[in-house]
Structure 1
Amino acid sequence: MSYDPTPTPTTALAATTTDVLGELPTLPTDRRTGCPFDPPAELTALSDTPLRRMRYADGHIGWLVTGHAAARAILADPRFSSRYELLHLPMPIEGAPAELPPAPVGDMIGLDAPEHTRYRRLLTGRFTVRRMRQLAERVEQFTAEQLDAMEQAGPTVDLVEALAQPVPALMICELLGVPYADRQRFQGDVATLFDQTAGAEASGRAYAAVHQYLNELVLAKRAEPGDDLLSDLTASDLTDEELTGIGGLLLAAGLDTTANMLALGTFALLSNPDQLDALRADPGLAEQTVEELLRYLSVADPLTRSALEDVEVAGRLIRAGETVTVSVQAANRDPHRFPGPDRLDLHRKATGHLSFGHGAHQCLGQQLARVEMAVAFPTLFARFPTLRLAVPPEEVPLRDRANIYGVISLPVTWDEEVAP
């Protein structure tokens, strides 16, 4: 899709002044009607209005971006900041301060260049496509072990506990050098950090607990380095506090996003038997399946930026200081970029989706997540060819009040083979 012709500043300013405050939407979040894999209907209804005004939780009048081209342009533009202290929250969070504090030390997500660039350069070489694909053998091993345990447990299991959480947890622990036996110390806290209903106090306690655990781990790595990413970074100029912050960020991101993609992706495939049949018939579709599921589900949403200066995008003038919320769900369902976007189609070329973000802040661990999913989905369905939901689809509990969308649990069952 070609980008919208840029109007003159006069035209763009005139467009913004025609908005009436009473007509501004809040961020649509209600998925309770319709398909559980679809964004809120109010979002997709805005596909012909790629950028429009929106009222924020604190009353700030900023912008909502639903068009793919506009979203991509904003995420790639250094004139839009990721610094937390410049942002307004698109959704209310109980106990959140009126003004957000700056990012904690080591939290790259809330930084701009040059601070962000320094951290990014230290990590990029450790997350290359080649290095992540070298981990595929370990992913295969962990996946097989979890499926062995699942088969031994017998039909009916919760796929979240049996597969979706353990595989990414094992892999991120291996990558960072975190003892897997310690996962109970931080797994619940990580879930709290992404829970919109937890409140600021509970989130603060969870953050402090994860921070304390990582700080202890960093000190241990400095004393006795191993063959892992955190140990590698102890040889850099990063301080203990920076290493702790970076480690906590990578741990949280590596656990929650992929776990929810594995569980929700399985739910989506089971709900679209024609597409599941296509994957079973051609395991070579695995990588393409991953890209389409990433586009179709868009579990990490939204992304927020603040304009550092006046910027024109898609015919609108965004003023300096205005917050912009990019709806990844809506952008990935933009019919101008992905024809028939509400259809799961494993033969679609879904490259260009924004599920890992775009620009300087694009997800560092995306290649590891891709490897985990490309192994897990075909292996799961080959191992359990009769796999199906153990409850009606409408009874699957959805994780719809969290920053990472997914399912709380996914009860599945299968037919046990009977020996001849």
Structure 2
Amino acid sequence: MAEFLHTVTTWSTARRPGCPFDPPTELLEARRHGPLSRYTFPGGKAGWLVTGYDLIRTVLADPRFSSRKELMLHPTIDYGGIEFSPAPPGEFLFMDEPRHGRYRKPLMGKFTVRRIRLLAERVEEITAEQLDAMEKAGPPADLVTAFAKPVPTIMMCGLLGVEHGDRDFFQEQVDAFRNVEAPREDLMAAYTATQEHLAELVAAKRARPTDDVLSDLTGGDLTDEELVGIALILLAAGLDTTTNMLALGTFALLRNPGQLAALRDDPELTDQAVEELLRYLSVGKTFMRTALEDVELGGRTIRAGSPLILSYNTANRDPERFADPHVLDLHRKGGGHLAFGHGIHQCLGQQLARVQMRVAFPALLNRFPTLRLAVPAEEIVLRPEVDIADVHGVKSLPVTWDA
């Protein structure tokens, strides 16, 4: 007799009341039943929900599971059989080999551990500048707009060679086309405006290269259209994820004062603390894959064409991989979380994100030792999570301190 397999009948991104850092209840329930569940997509397509750490790593390392955009299904929307186009040139996050490698390989040398460490001094300067401005303005402040958003914006725009005067524009447009509450026409207008501005930037770098990643890439065989796609992926991913890690991470620390005090009092704990916050929060929480052929996974046959939802946030709370997984423990030994993914699509900018967090969290806590929420925790509004790719975070984080 076949072993019972849990079936997930509804998809919800709602967090449990009072638990803004924990995965949605439905996902945690699915994981309790096992690492693999059945899921029926809108329109009746049979698929799978993968919630276990080991199985997700297996899928991410197996080329028989595709990242191609045109094969993806939405977990809550029935598009009525509409066939989607492949990812535009350069947007390698939604491609398989060899297209994926054409765009990722030229970037790999730009984001090595050694090269990113050389940027640590610049990260420290940017962080100090934002903290100076925040202190000068005085309490209270929205930590998102005053600190969490400007630090990665300035850093990423600098890497791409965006002029100082254009940084606010890029941040506004990225915010706009990531705003799931806006009308679709507004989202598309912001997306198009960003592409057009990036095309102008690429043309400028070809004409007059400067010391930045985008200028370096113009020296190869990539077309302008491909460079725009690459820049768009780097910009959107580099801004959104780090911004939400800094804001949501600070929120989590403020809700765990013992852990906050440990980080502030022990600089040697910083690297470990960042890894634990990445595991605990998993802001890039869910991704998709599609089976290209029949594959055995977790004792089940995944048929060719079957879509899979990969729940990174439950994998990073998997009790078979992490002891007391729902506890934020900055002294936790060992990494291995999936916050940056795994396999050929593992986050290219992970070292840059780490450097920013390693600098920003201690600097913030030391500059404002009395930092605290300016409103009750229950009033902090989370970002809506409508699409499977939405990044988890807060809309704003009102904080105050003793001036």
Q: Please give the range of the TM-score, normalised by the shorter of the 2 chains.
A: over 0.9
Q: Please report the TM-score for the alignment, with normalisation by the length of structure 1.
A: 0.91
Whether the 8 Å contact between 1:62 and 1:324 is mirrored in structure 2 is yes
Query: 1:406-417 alignment to 2 at 5 Å?
Result: 406-416=393-403
Q: CA deviation at 1:47?
A: 2.3
Query: 1:19-34 alignment to 2 at 5 Å?
Result: 23-34=7-18
RMSD: 1.8
What is aligned with 1:8? none
2:30 match: secondary structure: coil
Query: 1:100-179 alignment to 2 at 5 Å?
Result: 100-179=84-163
In structure 2, how many angstroms separate the alpha carbons of the residues matched to 1:198 and 1:328? 26
Q: 1:61 aligns with which of 26, 46, 67?
A: 46
What is aligned with 1:249? 233
Q: CA deviation at 1:219?
A: 0.2
Q: Please report the TM-score for the alignment, with normalisation by the length of structure 2.
A: 0.95
Q: 2:296 aligns with which of 299, 312, 336?
A: 312
1:317 match: secondary structure: strand
1:288-336 residue CA offsets vs partner (Å, 9 max, x unmatched) = 1111011100111211000000111111111000000000111111010
Query: 1:8-407 alignment to 2 at 5 Å?
Result: 23-48=7-32, 49-92=34-77, 98-401=82-385, 403-407=390-394
Identity of aligned residues (%): 60
In structure 2, how many angstroms separate the alpha carbons of the residues matched to 1:285 and 1:33? 31
Structure 1 residues 97 and 151: CA distance shift in structure 2, 3 A: farther
In structure 1, how many angstroms separate the alpha carbons of the residues matched to 2:252 and 2:93? 29
Which letter maps to 2:372? R
Which moves more between the two structures, 199-208 or 272-281? 199-208
How many residue pairs match? The answer is: 399
2:321 match: secondary structure: coil
1:127 match: secondary structure: coil
1:142-171 residue CA offsets vs partner (Å, 9 max, x unmatched) = 000000000000110111111100000010
Which moves more between the two structures, 172-181 or 44-53? 44-53
Structure 1 residues 144 and 393: CA distance shift in structure 2, 3 A: same
Which letter maps to 2:392? Y
Q: CA deviation at 1:392?
A: 0.5
Which moves more between the two structures, 402-411 or 70-79? 402-411
What is aligned with 1:3? none
In structure 1, how many angstroms separate the alpha carbons of the residues matched to 2:104 and 2:165? 29
In structure 2, how many angstroms separate the alpha carbons of the residues matched to 1:26 and 1:376? 38
Which letter maps to 2:397? L
Whether the 8 Å contact between 1:58 and 1:89 is mirrored in structure 2 is no
Q: CA deviation at 1:281?
A: 1.5
In structure 2, how many angstroms separate the alpha carbons of the residues matched to 1:149 and 1:86? 46
* Unaligned residue ranges in structure 1 (runs of 5+): 1-10
1:284 match: secondary structure: helix
Structure 1 residues 272 and 37: CA distance shift in structure 2, 3 A: same
Which letter maps to 1:306? T
Whether the 8 Å contact between 1:24 and 1:53 is mirrored in structure 2 is yes
Structure 1 residues 100 and 202: CA distance shift in structure 2, 3 A: farther
Q: CA deviation at 1:19?
A: 6.1
Which letter maps to 1:83? R
In structure 1, how many angstroms separate the alpha carbons of the residues matched to 2:98 and 2:314? 31
